[in-house]
Amino acid sequence: MRYVVFVGTALLIVASVHAYFWLRLVRDTGLSPTARLVLGAVLVLLAASLPASFFLLRALSPESSRLVLFPIYVWMGAMLLLLTLLLAGDLLRLGHFVVLKLTSGAPLDPGRRQALARLIAGVAGTGVVGATGIGIWNALSHVLVRRVRVELPNLPRALDGTTIAQLTDLHLGPTLGREWLAGIVAKVNALKPDLVAITGDLVDGRVAALAETVAPLRELRSRYGTFFVTGNHEYYSRAVEWCAHLPSLGICVLRNERVAVGNAQSFDLCGIDDWNARGMAPGHGPDLPRALAGRDPSRALVLLAHQPRAVHEAARLGVGLVLSGHTHGGQLWPWKHLVLLQQPVVAGLERFGQTWIYVSEGTGFWGPPVRLGTRSEITLVTLAAPRA
């Protein structure tokens, strides 16, 4: 039922957005009958391509799907940008109409209405083409290494300077494949981290389709190993299978549990299931109290949790640092501001009481291979012992 409601809502939104495009770009601009027919047909095809992508993703091999889905996902990003610009244009048009009515009392004549509609359509179209091109370059160019230093309460002096390389939201499958991942692994190994943390949304696809794609993860090198927690997209891709497969690549899957990291001196590393896991897989769901049961509260504690909203419970339970992803930093301006309706932090380092949280903008991207106002990142977190 949840899936049916999601699909039905998505189809309604896609149809409504493309109908709005037809009104603003075709009807209001006074195009010729032939142009109206052609552009109307193009909009219908573009609208149909988005729901079709979900079926193509499952029907095609990863290699084939990347070729077929790439232009569809580009349109997905361009669609969001075009919607933003046309809505902004409507606000400007409304303001123009109000000012004209107040100053002259006369309505805007049809000729000026059409000229204004064409101007807005032209500016919006040009802006979308330019912004999409920049966004594609941002998404597919080199991944940044962001360095963050966090003073972790109770961290032993002997572990001062311990580094954690965080990967998150790689979304391997539809657009990003094995070769790209091999490059990411090489970048991480060059940082020589003490520990690697993968904080969810590693894949979009099942183990049977993506086992070879994720194989380069076996080459990750660090002093204390690689640790993984599920994201919401793992639960769209049979998380139980992935939790069983990743240990074969040398990755420790943390499901509402903790481990000690270090040798003579150590700190606690904890990982919980994704916030949305309940009902998605048998026995899955976040349970931080279970993970912390019996813990010595005097020990330093780092939590891996895919979604930033886990920070509220983490702060109540004395976690020192939370590492999260999920938001992609918003991925596309200005939609990043909507993320704050669901998550307490969109990107970067914040503090809640005595608990730090770092939210990565994501190593890969989901859907549109487009980033505006954000960049893909590998995060190198350096843990610092409290100063005397």
- In contact, 198 and 167? CB cutoff 8 Å: yes
pLDDT, residue 141, reads 86
Taking 70 as the threshold, does the pLDDT of residue 97 lie above it? yes
| Domains of the chain, start order | 2-139 (no CATH), 144-384 (3.60.21.10)
Average pLDDT value for residue range 315-337: 92
| Phi, psi for 171 (deg, rounded to 5) | 50, 50
pLDDT per residue as tens digits for the range 20-71: 999 999 999 989 999 999 999 999 999 999 999 888 887 887 778 888 899 9
**Closest C-alpha to 303, from 295, 293, 291, 294:** 291
Residue 22 DSSP class:
I
pLDDT, residue 313, reads 98
Largest CA distance in the chain: 83
Taking 70 as the threshold, does the pLDDT of residue 107 lie above it? no
Report the alpha-carbon distance of residue 247 to residue 229 in Å, rounded.
Answer: 12
Report the alpha-carbon distance of residue 26 to residue 36 in Å, rounded.
Answer: 6
Q: Which residues contact 6 (CB under 8 A, 6 or more apart)?
A: none
- 165-169, 308-312, 334-338: segment of lowest average pLDDT: 334-338
Whether the bond into 62 is cis, omega within 30 of 0: no
pLDDT, residue 64, reads 80
Ramachandran region, residue 367 (left: φ > 0; alpha: ψ -120 to 50; beta: rest) = left
* Alpha helices (runs of H) in 141-234, residue ranges in sequence order: 178-191, 207-210
pLDDT per residue as tens digits for the range 124-174: 999 999 999 999 999 998 899 999 999 999 999 999 999 999 999 999 998
Report the alpha-carbon distance of residue 313 to residue 309 in Å, rounded.
Answer: 8
pLDDT, residue 338, reads 83
Taking 70 as the threshold, does the pLDDT of residue 175 lie above it? yes
Taking 90 as the threshold, does the pLDDT of residue 82 lie above it? yes
Q: How far apart, in Å, are the Cα atoms of 188 and each of 144, 170, 181, 230, 332?
A: 11, 14, 11, 20, 26
Q: What is the pTM of this model?
A: 0.91
Taking 90 as the threshold, does the pLDDT of residue 298 lie above it? yes
Report the alpha-carbon distance of residue 131 to residue 245 in Å, rounded.
Answer: 39
Please give the mean pLDDT across all residues of the chain.
93
pLDDT, residue 100, reads 75
- In contact, 331 and 358? CB cutoff 8 Å: no
pLDDT, residue 61, reads 79
